[in-house]
Amino acid sequence: MSTLQFDKIALIGIGLIGSSIARAVKLKGLAREVAISSRSRETLARAEELGLGTLYCEEARDCVRDADLVIVSVPVGASGAVAEEIAASLKPGAILTDVGSTKASVISQMLPHVPEGVHFIPGHPIAGTEHSGPDAGFADLFEGRWCILTPVEGSQAEPIARLRHFWETLGSKVEEMDPAHHDKVLAIVSHLPHIIAYNIVGTAADLETVTESEVIKYSASGFRDFTRLASSDPTMWRDVCLHNKDAILEMLARFSEDLAYLQRAIRWGEGDKLFDLFTRTRAVRRSIIEAGQDTAAPDFGRHIKSTP
């Protein structure tokens, strides 16, 4: 049993990530009060039906009043507007963090609004699924996953340590990183794979020589695994592309070069080159399993667990 860490936690945005945090906080008893706000009344009402918090606010500014920890879990493109809205209501000494998938852009949007005396410590839990909304969350989403904190200039050690401890209690392993470096790393491990998946699924859907029923019928041959990524939330991924533009374009350029190399090897029948690459990539998969970041199960261990 964990102990109380904050008197009041405010969750702005209660989709997959916000509601997973809410469930974990409740399960572990980490706050006396959990105030929730969401852009729409429908989502807020659903959060209340699910019993995710103790207080439900239509306005984000009401939600953050007296909160010791404020977690913004909205699409990255909306983080500046949210910061502007809540700024004047933040309690001096409060920790303000976010979970956005891009960091430099979130910092440039939010930081100008952060009042003196509020500890702004951006964050990003490297955990998620292709589902969204308050029903999609689950308490052990962060169990065994990394959470990256990207403190800004002037961030103090004590609030960073408190936030680190919070994520560790949720089951995460925590690392601190420079925001620009985070954006580069995530461009290759997360953003590029999603863009490639969106592209492949789009190409297959456009192919006129193959019917839609054939694409679905024979999908287990590889296509299916891309469709999981390509079914991720369109708003979230539009924002990620627009807000990590430079790093993504750099990785896409590298990817295109490597694809051209593969194309040549196939054209000229250079089997050795193909075999060498496919052997190297197989080893990458093995090291991911060894690092505990996935399982060798046929469903890739992604069946959602049934914790409350």
Sheet with 123-125, side-by-side order of all strands: 123-125, 146-149, 173-176
Strand bridging mode 123-125 / 146-149? antiparallel
| Least Cβ distance, residue 237 to ligand NAP (angstroms) | 8
| Least Cβ distance, residue 162 to ligand NAP (angstroms) | 21
* One residue of 76, 121, 186, 229 binding ligand NAP per CB under 6 A: 76
Tell whether residue 236 is a contact of ligand NAP (CB under 6 A): yes
Q: Quick one: 73 or 150, whose CB is closer to ligand NAP? A: 73
On whether the CB atoms of residues 96 and 114 are closer than 8 A, the answer is: yes
Cα–Cα distance between 292 and 157 in angstroms, integer? 29
Please name the residue ranges forming H helices in 90-178.
104-110, 157-169
Tell whether residue 159 is a contact of ligand NAP (CB under 6 A): no
| Least Cβ distance, residue 214 to ligand NAP (angstroms) | 30
Tell whether residue 53 is a contact of ligand NAP (CB under 6 A): no
Q: CB within 8 A of 39, min separation 6: which ones? A: 13, 74, 78
Closest CA to 243 of 290, 187, 201: 187
Q: Quick one: 115 or 133, whose CB is closer to ligand NAP? A: 133
Which amino acid is residue 104, in one-letter code? A
Which range touches ligand NAP (CB under 6 A), out of 67-75, 177-185, 197-205, 269-277? 67-75
- Residue 101's Cβ-count burial label (10 Å; 0-12, 13-18, 19+) is buried
| Least Cβ distance, residue 233 to ligand NAP (angstroms) | 5
Tell whether residue 230 is a contact of ligand NAP (CB under 6 A): no
Which range touches ligand NAP (CB under 6 A), out of 14-22, 89-97, 108-116, 271-279? 14-22
Lookup: tokens for 45 = 């009402």
Give the 3-state secondary structure of residue 112: helix
Q: CB within 8 A of 27, min separation 6: which ones? A: 139, 307, 308
Which range touches ligand NAP (CB under 6 A), out of 124-132, 180-188, 261-269, 272-280? 124-132
Maximum separation of any 2 CA atoms in the chain, in Å:
67
Tell whether residue 78 is a contact of ligand NAP (CB under 6 A): yes
Tell whether residue 123 is a contact of ligand NAP (CB under 6 A): no
Q: Quick one: 133 or 215, whose CB is closer to ligand NAP? A: 133
Tell whether residue 99 is a contact of ligand NAP (CB under 6 A): yes
* One residue of 68, 140, 183, 233 binding ligand NAP per CB under 6 A: 233
Sheet with 6-12, side-by-side order of all strands: 55-57, 31-37, 6-12, 69-72, 95-98, 119-120
Tell whether residue 38 is a contact of ligand NAP (CB under 6 A): yes
| Least Cβ distance, residue 15 to ligand NAP (angstroms) | 2
| Least Cβ distance, residue 5 to ligand NAP (angstroms) | 21
Tell whether residue 125 is a contact of ligand NAP (CB under 6 A): yes
Q: Which residues sit at the interface with ligand NAP, rule CB under 6 A?
A: 13-18, 38-40, 43, 73-76, 78, 82, 99-101, 124-125, 128, 132-133, 233, 236
